[in-house]
Amino acid sequence: MAIIGIDLGTTNSLVSIWRHGRAELIPNSLGTFLTPSVVSMDKDGTLWTGTVAREKMHTQPERSAASFKRQMGTSHDFRLGNHIFKAAELSSLILKQLKLDAEAYLGELVEEAVISVPAYFNDEQRFATKQAGQLAGLKVERLVNEPSAAALACRNQTGEDDSQFLVIDFGGGTLDVSVVECFEQIIEIQAVAGDNHLGGNDFDMLITEYFCGQHALDFESMTMSEQNLLLKKAEQCKRELTASQAAMMNYLYREDELGLFLTTADLVRICAPLFKRLEQVVFHALSDAGKTMEDIDQIVLVGGTCKMPAVQQYIGHFLHREPFLAGQPDEIIALGAGIYGGIKERQSDIKDIILTDICPFTLGIGIIDRNNARDHIMSPIIERNSPLPTSKSGFYVTTRDLQTDIGILVFQGESMHCSENLFLGELNLTVPPAPNGQEGVVVRFTYDINGILDVEAENRHGDVVKKLIMNEHIRMDNQELEQKMQELEQLKRPAREQAANQLVFSRGERLYMELLGDDRQVILNLLNWFSGVLEAGSPAAIAAARKKTDDTFNYLESKLYGGV
């Protein structure tokens, strides 16, 4: 069976496969490659994912969820009507849809996937991603860092064997920067840096805040529908600034027509804090790799946010080098994941390619802080940017006379103070009572290629404890996982072919909310007519009716965004 590659994105997700000597994107039921990472649930319990769910975000925001990737590995709850989901469960619904799309396209069952994750995803976020795959019915033995997947795809496209890349992966919700060396059949990640809360969504939010400031609006006092529509207008304005140097942002707020004229220069000024954060991450990656821009052969931009001319120009300005926009930047990571799926399958044409990765964070244990009994000092065992897989150890002794056990607190992060790092878990090992410092343990960390940590501790007498680090408050055990899989399987899912027809109604309802007067009557008449075609029409008649509604909606939308 084929192994698919999945880019599980904050804004959009894609699926690909390696076959016939190349990575190939797989279309969804609507015939497009990008599937919005949005989930919505109707009042009758019908579950929608992708484009239909994105339209429903505006008409039923209390029953919809988006950008949940930012909450992966946390205990944050998302409420869709009467149902409550964690981010991993919502992600599993997107993964399940991608799995079904792949099976329909390939004509065979799909049971395994390689899933890309931000390089700066921590241990909890990686584990949550693997569990999302399991909940979707996929075996996920391999997670690949997004910039590593991008480097794999870029190397495959350019065919360049010996070169140093600076890969800037700027997506809808996360930023990853990697320094990559390619030589012969080896792609080596030398350093990574990132920000899991910096992406295109943040540009939308700052544009929205600026718009509210210009019109004395209180964003927090708006309804969820009003907020979502305003954010959509900001995103549309941002997209227009991708194609031109100026754009008009129009918003109908409680029957008041509000407008704002923005230029690319305005965008750079408004979003200056985001650009400075981008700059800091880039220089952090270069510093960790011990490189300067003189060592870099090419700056490669991937991720949808890199389509923005303002982003490209800013990167070129502070690095004094023209960056290279890789193909369709929002497709590159998915293609790289597909290539890695082919490598994992041992496909003859790429089986000899080796991709090496690194640990993005320092891993260590907390030791007593003599100056602050309420905190611990971080004692690193595996330093950030160590090649993976890796296994390293440290020796630690008792701190009190007659101490009978040693508690090993495991942390992830770069701060000297453990309270500022991520607590991953703990284990305890007994030791015989003895004077302070005479008994101790060897603590070994084993960090695998997926970024999953295993901890082992052994005392002087051969007693050993082992633990796959788990945060019981967040991670599900096998029994809980099986139960959750059954619950998700019972959710009411429409047939794949229903998505195109439902999209007509969802888009019409959203446009009705945004428009006024005669335009609303046009939409009502069109939806009533389309309902009649669905009841009595043939597949060909329904397809023709969808085309007519799409054309009319496109016209109305162009009016809405100032195109007519």
Q: How many residues does the chain have?
A: 564
Q: Find the helix packing angle between 87-106 and 478-489, rounded to 10°.
A: 60
Which CATH class for the 363-468 domain? mainly beta
Residue 128 token pair:
């949550």
**For position 365, what pLDDT does the model report?**
95
**For position 564, what pLDDT does the model report?**
35
- Rounded to an integer, what distance in angstroms lies between the CA atom of residue 385 and that of residue 361? 7
**For position 480, what pLDDT does the model report?**
80
Q: Exposed/middle/buried for 427, CB within 10 Å: 0-12, 13-18, 19+?
A: middle
**Is 3-198+274-358 a domain of CATH 3.10.20.30?**
no
For residue 493, which amino acid is it? R
Q: Which residues of the chain have pLDDT under 70?
A: 156-161, 468-475, 561-564
Report CA-CA distances (Å) from 451 to 280, 407, 447. 24, 23, 6
- Rounded to an integer, what distance in angstroms lies between the CA atom of residue 357 and that of residue 231? 36
Q: What is the pTM of this model?
A: 0.85
Q: Strand 12-19 and strand 35-36: pairing?
A: antiparallel
For residue 54, which amino acid is it? R
- Rounded to an integer, what distance in angstroms lies between the CA atom of residue 302 and that of residue 320? 19
**For position 562, what pLDDT does the model report?**
53
**For position 563, what pLDDT does the model report?**
44
- Beta-carbon-side half-sphere exposure of residue 241 (alpha carbons within 13 Å): 29
Report CA-CA distances (Å) from 150 to 141, 193, 287, 300, 321. 19, 15, 21, 9, 20
Q: State residue 383 phi and psi, 5-degree precision.
A: -80, 155
Residue 372 token pair:
């602050």
231: left (phi over 0), alpha (psi -120 to 50) or beta: alpha
Residue 356 token pair:
């090496």
Quick one: which of 140, 131, 119 has its CA closest to 88?
131
Domain boundary assignment for the chain: 3-198+274-358, 363-468, 498-560
- Rounded to an integer, what distance in angstroms lies between the CA atom of residue 256 and that of residue 254? 6
